[in-house]
A and B are shown apart, each in its own frame.
Chain A
Amino acid sequence: DVKVTQSSRYLVKRTGEKVFLECVQDMDHENMFWYRQDPGLGLRLIYFSYDVKMKEKGDIPEGYSVSREKKERFSLILESASTNQTSMYLCATKTGGLYGYTFGSGTRLTVV
Protein backbone atom coordinates (compact mmCIF):
# COMPACT_ATOMS: atom_id res chain seq x y z
CA ASP A 1 0.00 0.00 0.00
CA VAL A 2 1.18 3.48 -0.80
CA LYS A 3 2.09 5.65 2.15
CA VAL A 4 1.71 9.45 2.24
CA THR A 5 3.61 11.09 5.06
CA GLN A 6 3.12 14.64 6.28
CA SER A 7 6.07 15.77 8.33
CA SER A 8 4.19 17.45 11.16
CA ARG A 9 0.91 16.55 12.87
CA TYR A 10 0.62 19.86 14.72
CA LEU A 11 2.23 23.22 14.08
CA VAL A 12 1.87 26.59 15.77
CA LYS A 13 3.26 29.58 13.90
CA ARG A 14 3.16 33.33 14.30
CA THR A 15 1.45 35.75 11.94
CA GLY A 16 3.83 36.79 9.17
CA GLU A 17 6.06 33.73 9.39
CA LYS A 18 6.91 31.73 6.29
CA VAL A 19 5.64 28.19 6.80
CA PHE A 20 6.61 25.00 4.99
CA LEU A 21 4.38 21.92 5.04
CA GLU A 22 6.04 18.83 3.67
CA CYS A 23 4.46 15.78 2.07
CA VAL A 24 6.22 12.64 0.87
CA GLN A 25 4.83 9.62 -0.96
CA ASP A 26 6.70 6.35 -1.14
CA MET A 27 5.67 5.36 -4.67
CA ASP A 28 6.22 6.89 -8.07
CA HIS A 29 2.87 8.62 -8.44
CA GLU A 30 2.63 11.66 -10.65
CA ASN A 31 -0.36 13.51 -9.24
CA MET A 32 -0.19 15.12 -5.81
CA PHE A 33 -2.61 17.50 -4.13
CA TRP A 34 -2.89 19.88 -1.20
CA TYR A 35 -6.29 20.43 0.42
CA ARG A 36 -7.39 22.27 3.51
CA GLN A 37 -10.31 21.16 5.66
CA ASP A 38 -12.45 23.66 7.53
CA PRO A 39 -15.73 23.10 9.39
CA GLY A 40 -18.69 23.73 7.15
CA LEU A 41 -16.49 24.16 4.09
CA GLY A 42 -15.31 20.60 3.52
CA LEU A 43 -12.11 19.89 1.65
CA ARG A 44 -10.94 22.65 -0.65
CA LEU A 45 -8.15 22.24 -3.17
CA ILE A 46 -5.25 24.66 -2.79
CA TYR A 47 -2.74 23.44 -5.39
CA PHE A 48 -1.93 20.29 -7.27
CA SER A 49 0.95 18.93 -9.28
CA TYR A 50 0.95 16.40 -12.08
CA ASP A 51 4.71 15.99 -12.40
CA VAL A 52 8.03 17.31 -11.17
CA LYS A 53 8.15 21.10 -11.39
CA MET A 54 4.60 21.14 -12.78
CA LYS A 55 1.88 22.77 -10.69
CA GLU A 56 -1.57 24.22 -11.06
CA LYS A 57 -3.71 26.39 -8.87
CA GLY A 58 -6.69 24.84 -7.22
CA ASP A 59 -9.76 26.64 -5.95
CA ILE A 60 -8.14 28.66 -3.14
CA PRO A 61 -4.46 29.31 -4.01
CA GLU A 62 -4.22 32.84 -2.60
CA GLY A 63 -1.54 33.15 0.06
CA TYR A 64 0.04 29.81 -0.84
CA SER A 65 2.69 28.47 -3.16
CA VAL A 66 4.05 24.99 -3.80
CA SER A 67 7.25 23.26 -4.74
CA ARG A 68 7.82 19.91 -6.42
CA GLU A 69 11.50 19.35 -7.08
CA LYS A 70 11.35 15.56 -6.75
CA LYS A 71 8.51 13.25 -7.68
CA GLU A 72 8.02 11.93 -4.17
CA ARG A 73 7.88 15.29 -2.39
CA PHE A 74 5.28 18.05 -2.64
CA SER A 75 5.66 21.07 -0.37
CA LEU A 76 3.07 23.69 0.50
CA ILE A 77 4.40 27.12 1.41
CA LEU A 78 2.56 29.83 3.27
CA GLU A 79 4.45 32.92 2.22
CA SER A 80 3.31 35.05 5.17
CA ALA A 81 1.08 33.15 7.54
CA SER A 82 -2.18 34.76 8.60
CA THR A 83 -4.76 33.73 11.18
CA ASN A 84 -7.26 32.80 8.48
CA GLN A 85 -4.85 30.09 7.38
CA THR A 86 -5.41 28.23 10.62
CA SER A 87 -6.72 24.92 9.35
CA MET A 88 -6.18 21.21 8.82
CA TYR A 89 -3.97 20.65 5.78
CA LEU A 90 -4.19 17.38 3.90
CA CYS A 91 -1.86 16.08 1.24
CA ALA A 92 -2.94 13.39 -1.21
CA THR A 93 -1.63 11.42 -4.13
CA LYS A 94 -3.58 9.70 -6.85
CA THR A 95 -2.78 6.07 -6.40
CA GLY A 96 -4.63 4.32 -9.14
CA GLY A 97 -8.02 3.10 -10.09
CA LEU A 98 -10.51 5.70 -11.08
CA TYR A 99 -9.73 8.77 -8.99
CA GLY A 100 -8.40 6.80 -6.07
CA TYR A 101 -6.62 9.10 -3.65
CA THR A 102 -4.45 8.24 -0.68
CA PHE A 103 -4.28 10.97 1.92
CA GLY A 104 -1.74 11.73 4.57
CA SER A 105 -2.83 12.06 8.19
CA GLY A 106 -2.95 15.83 7.99
CA THR A 107 -1.19 18.77 9.62
CA ARG A 108 -3.19 20.91 11.99
CA LEU A 109 -1.74 24.40 11.65
CA THR A 110 -2.55 27.16 14.09
CA VAL A 111 -1.45 30.71 13.26
CA VAL A 112 -1.40 33.03 16.25
Chain B
Amino acid sequence: DQQVKQNSPSLSVQEGRISILNCDYTNSMFDYFLWYKKYPAEGPTFLISISSIKDKNEDGRFTVFLNKSAKHLSLHIVPSQPGDSAVYFCACPTGTASKLTFGTGTRLQVTL
Protein backbone atom coordinates (compact mmCIF):
# COMPACT_ATOMS: atom_id res chain seq x y z
CA ASP B 1 0.00 0.00 0.00
CA GLN B 2 1.44 3.34 -1.05
CA GLN B 3 2.32 5.47 1.96
CA VAL B 4 3.14 8.49 -0.19
CA LYS B 5 0.99 9.21 -3.23
CA GLN B 6 1.17 11.62 -6.10
CA ASN B 7 -2.09 11.31 -7.95
CA SER B 8 -1.16 13.38 -11.00
CA PRO B 9 1.33 11.55 -13.21
CA SER B 10 1.83 14.59 -15.40
CA LEU B 11 1.28 18.33 -15.50
CA SER B 12 1.74 20.87 -18.28
CA VAL B 13 2.13 24.57 -17.45
CA GLN B 14 2.96 27.62 -19.52
CA GLU B 15 6.20 29.45 -18.85
CA GLY B 16 5.71 32.21 -16.28
CA ARG B 17 2.63 30.64 -14.71
CA ILE B 18 2.40 28.78 -11.42
CA SER B 19 3.02 25.03 -11.21
CA ILE B 20 1.36 23.19 -8.34
CA LEU B 21 2.38 19.62 -7.61
CA ASN B 22 0.51 17.63 -5.00
CA CYS B 23 1.36 14.82 -2.64
CA ASP B 24 -0.71 12.89 -0.10
CA TYR B 25 0.50 10.65 2.69
CA THR B 26 -1.22 8.09 4.84
CA ASN B 27 0.50 8.18 8.21
CA SER B 28 -0.13 11.15 10.49
CA MET B 29 3.09 10.30 12.36
CA PHE B 30 5.23 11.33 9.38
CA ASP B 31 6.99 14.51 10.45
CA TYR B 32 9.34 15.54 7.68
CA PHE B 33 8.82 15.84 3.95
CA LEU B 34 11.09 16.44 1.00
CA TRP B 35 10.79 17.17 -2.69
CA TYR B 36 13.28 15.83 -5.22
CA LYS B 37 13.62 16.74 -8.86
CA LYS B 38 14.83 14.34 -11.55
CA TYR B 39 15.96 15.00 -15.08
CA PRO B 40 16.20 12.10 -17.58
CA ALA B 41 19.43 10.11 -17.31
CA GLU B 42 20.34 11.80 -14.02
CA GLY B 43 19.78 10.91 -10.39
CA PRO B 44 17.20 12.83 -8.35
CA THR B 45 18.42 15.98 -6.62
CA PHE B 46 17.09 17.50 -3.43
CA LEU B 47 14.90 20.54 -3.95
CA ILE B 48 13.20 21.63 -0.74
CA SER B 49 11.92 20.18 2.53
CA ILE B 50 9.52 20.95 5.33
CA SER B 51 9.16 19.87 8.92
CA SER B 52 5.74 19.13 10.39
CA ILE B 53 6.18 21.98 12.86
CA LYS B 54 5.78 24.36 9.94
CA ASP B 55 3.06 24.78 7.36
CA LYS B 56 5.15 26.59 4.76
CA ASN B 57 8.74 26.70 3.60
CA GLU B 58 10.02 28.93 0.84
CA ASP B 59 13.22 28.91 -1.19
CA GLY B 60 13.30 31.31 -4.08
CA ARG B 61 10.72 30.30 -6.67
CA PHE B 62 9.86 27.13 -4.75
CA THR B 63 7.42 26.95 -1.84
CA VAL B 64 6.18 23.85 -0.09
CA PHE B 65 2.91 23.93 1.86
CA LEU B 66 1.94 21.33 4.43
CA ASN B 67 -1.62 20.64 5.56
CA LYS B 68 -1.28 18.14 8.40
CA SER B 69 -4.99 17.68 9.00
CA ALA B 70 -5.48 16.70 5.37
CA LYS B 71 -2.17 14.78 5.22
CA HIS B 72 -1.35 16.72 2.10
CA LEU B 73 1.58 18.74 0.85
CA SER B 74 2.07 20.74 -2.28
CA LEU B 75 4.99 22.26 -4.15
CA HIS B 76 4.46 25.62 -5.83
CA ILE B 77 6.84 26.88 -8.49
CA VAL B 78 6.42 30.54 -9.41
CA PRO B 79 7.17 31.58 -12.06
CA SER B 80 7.64 28.31 -13.91
CA GLN B 81 10.58 28.11 -16.32
CA PRO B 82 11.36 25.63 -19.11
CA GLY B 83 14.31 24.35 -17.07
CA ASP B 84 11.84 23.21 -14.42
CA SER B 85 10.61 20.49 -16.77
CA ALA B 86 11.44 17.30 -14.90
CA VAL B 87 9.90 14.58 -12.75
CA TYR B 88 9.19 15.66 -9.18
CA PHE B 89 9.04 13.21 -6.30
CA CYS B 90 7.81 13.86 -2.80
CA ALA B 91 9.38 11.75 -0.07
CA CYS B 92 9.36 11.23 3.66
CA PRO B 93 11.41 9.26 6.15
CA THR B 94 9.82 5.97 7.14
CA GLY B 95 11.35 3.44 9.49
CA THR B 96 15.01 3.32 10.39
CA ALA B 97 18.41 4.30 9.01
CA SER B 98 17.21 7.46 7.34
CA LYS B 99 15.20 5.46 4.85
CA LEU B 100 13.12 7.60 2.50
CA THR B 101 9.87 6.49 0.95
CA PHE B 102 9.14 8.22 -2.35
CA GLY B 103 5.91 8.97 -4.14
CA THR B 104 5.18 7.87 -7.69
CA GLY B 105 6.31 11.14 -9.23
CA THR B 106 4.75 13.89 -11.34
CA ARG B 107 6.22 14.79 -14.70
CA LEU B 108 6.12 18.57 -15.13
CA GLN B 109 6.40 20.08 -18.57
CA VAL B 110 6.79 23.83 -18.83
CA THR B 111 5.90 25.07 -22.28
CA LEU B 112 6.96 28.27 -23.98
- The answer to whether A41 touches B104 (Cβ under 8 A) is yes
Within B63-112, the residues touching A (CB, 8 Å) are 89, 91, 93, 96-105
Across the interface, A40 reaches (CB within 8 A) one of B42, B46, B104, namely B104
Contact residues on A (Cβ < 8 Å of other chain), bracket: 20 to 34
Name, among B43, B45, B89, B101, the residue most crowded by chain A CB atoms within 10 Å (CB to CB): B43
Across the interface, A99 reaches (CB within 8 A) one of B34, B42, B45, B89, namely B34
Total A-B Cβ pairs within 8 A: 62
CB-nearest residue of chain A to B43 = A103
A-side binding surface: helix, strand, loop or mixed? strand
Residues of B within 8 A of A56 (CB): 96-97
Q: Say if the beta carbon of A74 comes within 8 Å of chain B.
A: no
- The answer to whether A42 touches B44 (Cβ under 8 A) is no
Q: Say if the beta carbon of A9 comes within 8 Å of chain B.
A: yes
The smallest beta-carbon distance between A97 and chain B, in angstroms, is: 8
Residues of A within 8 A of B (CB): 4, 9, 31, 33, 35, 40-45, 48, 50, 56, 58-59, 90, 92, 94, 98-106
